[in-house]
Amino acid sequence: MFDMLTKKFSSLFSALTASNTITQSAITDTTNQIREVLLDADVPYSVVDAFLAELSKRVIGEKLVKSLNPGQQFMGHVYDVMCQFMGNTNQQSHIFSVPSTVLVMGLQGSGKTTTIAKLAYHVLQTQKKIKKNGILLASVDFYRPAAIDQLEILAAQVGCSFYRAISTNPVQATTEIMNYAKKIGAQLIFLDTAGRLHIDTTMIQELKIIDDIVQTPHKMLVLDSMTGQESLNVAQAFDQAIGFEAVIFTKMDSDTRGGAAFAFKYMLKKSIIYIGMGEKLADLQPFNPVRTVGRILGKGDLLTLAEKADATIKQSDQERSLKALAKGNFTLEDFANQIDMVKSLGSLSSIMQYLPNMGGAQLSRDTIDKGEKEMRTFRAIISSMTQKERYMPDIIDGSRKMRIAKGAGVTVSQVTTLLERFKQSQQYVKLLKKSGLFKGMFR
Residues near ligand GDP (CB under 6 A)? 106, 108-114, 195, 250-251, 253-254, 276-279, 283
Residue 139 or 292: which CB sits closer to Mg ion? Answer: 139
169 binds, among Mg ion, ligand GDP, none (CB under 5 to 8 A by kind): none
114 binds, among ligand GDP, Mg ion, none (CB under 5 to 8 A by kind): ligand GDP
Q: Indicate the SS3 state at residue 109.
A: coil
Q: Does 147 bind Mg ion (CB under 5 A)?
A: yes
How many CA atoms does the CB half-sphere of 321 hold within 13 Å? 20
User: 391: phi > 0 → left, psi -120 to 50 → alpha, else beta; which?
Assistant: alpha
Cβ at position 108, least distance to Mg ion in Å: 7
Residue 121 or 378: which CB sits closer to ligand GDP? Answer: 121
Q: Alpha carbon of 394 to those of 336, 337, 391, 416, 420: distances in Å?
A: 17, 20, 9, 12, 11
Residue 38 or 275: which CB sits closer to ligand GDP? Answer: 275
Q: What DSSP letter does each residue of 404-424 carry, written as one string?
A: HHHHHT--HHHHHHHHHHHHH
Residue 112 or 122: which CB sits closer to Mg ion? Answer: 112
In 3D space, the residue among 363, 371, 357, 373 whose CA is nearest the CA of residue 410 turns out to be 373
* Cβ proximity of 12 and 74 under 8 Å: no
Stretch that binds Mg ion, among 105-113, 383-391, 411-419, 435-443 (CB under 5 A): 105-113
- Say how far apart CA 423 and CA 433 lie, in whole Å: 16
* Burial (CB count <10 Å: 0-12, 13-18, 19+), residue 185: exposed
Q: Does 115 bind Mg ion (CB under 5 A)?
A: no
- Say how far apart CA 340 and CA 321 lie, in whole Å: 11
# binding residues, Mg ion (CB under 5 A): 3
Stretch that binds Mg ion, among 30-38, 109-117, 129-137, 343-351 (CB under 5 A): 109-117
Cβ at position 251, least distance to ligand GDP in Å: 4
* Cβ proximity of 136 and 162 under 8 Å: yes
Task: Give the strand pairing for 161-163 and 284-286.
Answer: unpaired
- Say how far apart CA 271 and CA 88 lie, in whole Å: 11
* Cβ proximity of 280 and 111 under 8 Å: no
Q: Does 110 bind Mg ion (CB under 5 A)?
A: no
Q: What is the identity of the amino acid at 429?
A: V
Residue 250 or 414: which CB sits closer to Mg ion? Answer: 250
Cβ at position 105, least distance to Mg ion in Å: 11
* Residue at shortest CB range from ligand GDP: 276
292 binds, among ligand GDP, Mg ion, none (CB under 5 to 8 A by kind): none
44 binds, among ligand GDP, Mg ion, none (CB under 5 to 8 A by kind): none
Which position among 30, 73, 113, 115 is part of the footprint of Mg ion (CB under 5 A)? Answer: 113
Residue 205 or 254: which CB sits closer to ligand GDP? Answer: 254
Residue 192 or 334: which CB sits closer to ligand GDP? Answer: 192
* Burial (CB count <10 Å: 0-12, 13-18, 19+), residue 360: exposed
111 binds, among Mg ion, ligand GDP, none (CB under 5 to 8 A by kind): ligand GDP
Residues that bind Mg ion (CB under 5 A): 112-113, 147
